[in-house]
Amino acid sequence: MTQSTLAQPRVIRFSLAWTLQTILTIIYPVLTVLIAVRLVMTPLFLQIEYTRPGFPADYYGFTTEDRLNYAPYAVHYLLNSEDIDFLGDLTFPDGNSLFNMRELQHMRDVKIVTQIAFLVAVIMGILVILTAIYLYRVSRPTLLNGLRNGAVFTLVIILSIVIGAVFNWEYFFTAFHRIFFEDGTWMFLYSDTLIRLFPEQFWFDAALTIGGIVLITSLATIALTTWRLRSSQRTR
């Protein structure tokens, strides 16, 4: 058996490891952001947001208790398997529908985007776990480098987005909706329930919270992987 023949498995393993490292680097930002989004879509965030000092009051009369009562239905709808009647059957105390037809159509659209995104997150999560198991057995430094590179990549992206959102929120908010939804389908009157429950300040705070979660996670990943890489180098 020649040396070139013996070297072939090593080349294949190296190529596979490098490919998997690249996959980790690419997946890390997307998966981290989607996990952060899911953490924000919880009753806890609604409780904190609606009760924090300075959150804008509803000009049309929703109290904090009203918002805490109605808003979870919208969040639950995006995450469950129910059809639009889950929201369409909701009414005000006077019997009028809580959401109008345009709002219900938008929530249908949001649910499609949300559930596709979280399905992608699950697939990515499984891929990351399998990749991590393989690289942990074959080449731990490659695993650590893949995670660290992904975290650095994420920092660059998230800082750019957060800076853009802070200094030009209107453009950021509009651009985001135009990417995922048809023009005009996501714009509502101030008197509509969706705007009363989720005013612009809500989305600004949610974006900053998501950015903060991703930032902390990425910094922790960079610190941990760098420490592990240096430790492994010292023990050689």
**Domain extents in the chain:** 32-234
| pLDDT score at 193 | 97
Residue with the two structure tokens 């109605």: 70
Secondary structure of residue 61 in the 3-state scheme? coil
Per-residue pLDDT of the chain in tens (236 residues, 90 and over written 9): 454 444 456 655 667 888 999 999 999 999 999 999 999 999 999 999 999 999 999 999 999 999 999 999 999 999 999 999 999 999 999 999 999 999 999 999 999 999 999 999 999 999 999 999 999 988 899 999 999 999 999 999 988 888 888 888 888 888 888 888 887 788 899 999 999 999 999 999 999 999 999 999 999 999 999 999 888 776 65
| pLDDT score at 236 | 59
- Return d(Cα 214, Cα 207) in angstroms, integer: 11
Residue with the two structure tokens 């902390």: 216
Residue with the two structure tokens 């200094």: 167
Which segments of the chain does DSSP mark as H helices, in order?
3-40, 43-51, 64-79, 85-88, 101-138, 140-167, 169-180, 193-197, 200-234
- Return d(Cα 236, Cα 233) in angstroms, integer: 5
| pLDDT score at 184 | 77
Which are the contacts of 68, defined by CB distance < 8 A and separation ≥ 6? 46, 47, 50
| pLDDT score at 164 | 82
**pTM: predicted TM-score of the whole model, two decimal places:** 0.88
Angle between the 200-234 and 169-180 helix axes, to the nearest 10 degrees? 90
